[in-house]
Amino acid sequence: MPSATPGGMPVPRQPAHLAIVMDGNGRWAQQRRRPRMIGHRAGARAVNRTIDFCLERGIAVLTLFAFSSENWGRPQDEVDALMKLFLAALDREVDELERRNVRVCFIGERARFSPGIAQRMARAEQRTSGNRAMTLNIAASYGGRQDIALAARRLAEQVAAGTLLPEQVDEQRLGRHMALADLPPPDLFIRTGGDTRISNFLLWQLAYTELWFTDVLWPDVDAATLQQALDAFAQRERRYGLTSAQVAPPATETVSP
Ligand code: IPE
Ligand code: IPE
Ligand code: MG
């Protein structure tokens, strides 16, 4: 439900954490009879528009799915071209993120990237670590199942070392070893490109996230598309397994002056 300002004006509910599966770059290019890479380049421009939109709206955390664990299986020339694009973007965009006061973090299996890319990721994280306007998480070589498996491995190591009992393994402890553990989970998930699936994005973290899908291809995403998602989110009632009556805010008395 929308909360109210002291003046009585309703404040629309807005996500604090937005997570996006940026899909449809290849089809966008195919529609134009251009190589898929042209779609990925146009997709990079949509990333910048999305960052600006989130900064304008005061969204605190934006998590973008840039490259999945499974995307390594694409044709080698597409993977190579994506790595080149990634490298160029890392070189080009860090100053821009710095100027916009955005902190960038990468989640996923970093060891699979070339040393050049891995170093630039680390440098981008260090350089922007003090920025406060927004946290931008980029999921690269990321898989939700892998995220859960690695967290389980951490706990198994503690059990093997004798510092944790098996019966102490619970949701909280497992969750603390998952990616983004230091942030609130996503409130709103957006997938562009017309498919209605999660494709191994944040499986654990999306447990109670509101899902929103659009046919718009990622390179065509603009403020109007993103606003449509926020408008849909503002209408949702998040019940977390409870009843509507339990989660509804108490009715406030309106006293007219
Ligand atoms: C998403 O666009 C970007 C990545 C997965 C790297 P796609 O490349 O999946 O585009 P479509 O789905 O083929 O149109
Ligand atoms: C999901 O898109 C991954 C990213 C957007 C990075 P895919 O294009 O890889 O997903 P599927 O293959 O349609 O499930
Ligand atoms: Mg796709």
136 in helix, strand or coil? Answer: strand
Q: Which domains does the chain have, with CATH numbers?
A: 17-143+185-233 (3.40.1180.10)
> Residue 225 CB: number of other CB atoms within 10 A?
18
Tell me which residue of 202, 205, 206, 226 sits closest to 216, measured CA to CA.
Answer: 226
Q: Closest ligand 1 atom, CA of 27?
A: 14
Catalytic residue status for 71: yes
188 in helix, strand or coil? Answer: strand
- State mean pLDDT over 210-227: 98
| All residues at 6 or more sequence positions from 55 whose CB lies less than 8 Å from its CB, including other chains | 100, 102, 133, 134
Of the two residues 214 and 257, the one the predictor is more confident about is: 214
**Residue 19 CB–ligand 2 contact under 6 Å:** no
Render pLDDT for 87-124 as a digit per residue (tens, 0 to 9).
Answer: 999 999 999 999 999 999 999 999 999 999 999 999 99
**Residue 27 CB–ligand 1 contact under 6 Å:** yes
Catalytic residue status for 77: no
As beta bridge partners, residue 142 has 68
Residue 257 scores a pLDDT above 60: no
Residue 15 scores a pLDDT above 90: yes
The tokens for 96 are 């821009």
Q: Catalytic one among 48, 52, 71, 187?
A: 71
Query: What mean pLDDT is reported for the chain?
Result: 94
Residues 18, 212: Cα–Cα separation, whole Å: 11
**Residue 21 CB–ligand 2 contact under 6 Å:** yes
Q: How far is the CA of 70 from the centre of ligand 1 (A)?
A: 12
As beta bridge partners, residue 68 has 142
Q: Catalytic one among 23, 137, 147, 187?
A: 23
Residue 249 scores a pLDDT above 90: no
**Residue 24 CB–ligand 1 contact under 6 Å:** yes
The tokens for 66 are 């840039």
Q: What is the pTM of this model?
A: 0.94
Render pLDDT for 123-168 as a digit per residue (tens, 0 to 9).
Answer: 999 999 999 999 999 999 999 999 999 999 999 999 999 999 999 9
Question: Binding site for Mg(2+): which residues?
Answer: 23, 210
Work out the end-to-end distance of the chain between its first and last CA atoms, rounded to an integer number of angstroms: 24
Residues 167, 76: Cα–Cα separation, whole Å: 45
The DSSP 8-state label assigned to residue 111 in this structure reads G
> Residue 199 CB: number of other CB atoms within 10 A?
14
DSSP calls for 141-182: EE-HHHHHHHHHHHHHHHHHTTSS-GGG--HHHHHTTSTTTT
Residue 222 scores a pLDDT above 60: yes
**Confidence band, pLDDT 50/70/90 cuts, at residue 189:** very high
Tell me which residue of 115, 104, 28, 110 sits closest to 62, measured CA to CA.
Answer: 104
**Confidence band, pLDDT 50/70/90 cuts, at residue 4:** very low
Q: Residue 253 has what pLDDT?
A: 55
Tell me which residue of 200, 227, 196 sits closest to 139, measured CA to CA.
Answer: 200
Question: Binding site for substrate: which residues?
Answer: 24-28, 36, 40, 68-70, 72, 74, 191, 197-199
